[in-house]
Amino acid sequence: MSLDAADKLVTMEYNKHFYSFKFKNMAVRYEVGLNIKTSDICWWSGPYPPGDMNDDMCFQNCLAKWLPPGERVETDKGYRASFPASVCCPPYESAERAEMTARVRLRHETVNRRMNRWNILKAPYRHDLMNHQAVFGAIACMTQLSFENGEPLFQVDYDD
């Protein structure tokens, strides 16, 4: 599985727990996992307060507890604290491995971009924050359905 976290803007008064350094504004963070071989969205969790939890903390809080011993996920550098026990992240031992994982991460960024097609995730969320998780889950499902019905992701050759 490839794993990445994404911040989504929310409208609220300043709260240091929800401050996203990426946006310099209030946000919530979600973690999304893709099956590397099939491109399916197979995991998501959140929301997390980005001011309190970095990418690796989100991973340790949830998915890391579900991984069987020896199972690892492909990530970016934001998950270095869990390397090498649970994640594979840069730097890599070979140029071939680096190129292969770069394509995996590029595909993951494509998924993030497709989820942001829905303005409710792209623009600051102005509704009851308690409903944001349901909105995110619905969009994750619709994005997955779009992969199956006419907008597939590019495939990645991946050797364990």
pLDDT one-digit tens code per residue, 99-108: 888 888 999 9
Confirm whether 9 is domain-assigned.
Answer: yes
Amino acid at 20: S
Whole-model pTM?
0.90
Average pLDDT over residues 137-150: 94
Q: Is residue 92 part of a domain?
A: yes
Residue 155 lies in a domain: no
- Residue 160 located in a structural domain: no
From residue 56, how far is each of 30, 62, 142 by CA, in Å?
A: 12, 10, 27
HSE-up of 127 (CA within 13 Å, CB side)? 10
What is the domain-level CATH number for residue 50? 3.30.420
Residue 122 lies in a domain: yes
pLDDT at 160: 61
Range of the domain at 85: 2-148
For tokens 């020896």, what's the residue? 70
pLDDT at 139 over 70: yes
Is 133 inside any structural domain? yes
Q: What is the pLDDT of residues 18-49, one digit of tens each?
A: 999 999 999 999 999 999 888 899 999 999 99
Burial 97-118 (b: 16+ CB within 10 A, else e): eeebbeebbebbeebeebbbee
Strand pairing report for 87-88 and 73-74: parallel
Domain-located, residue 158: no
Number of domains in the chain: 1
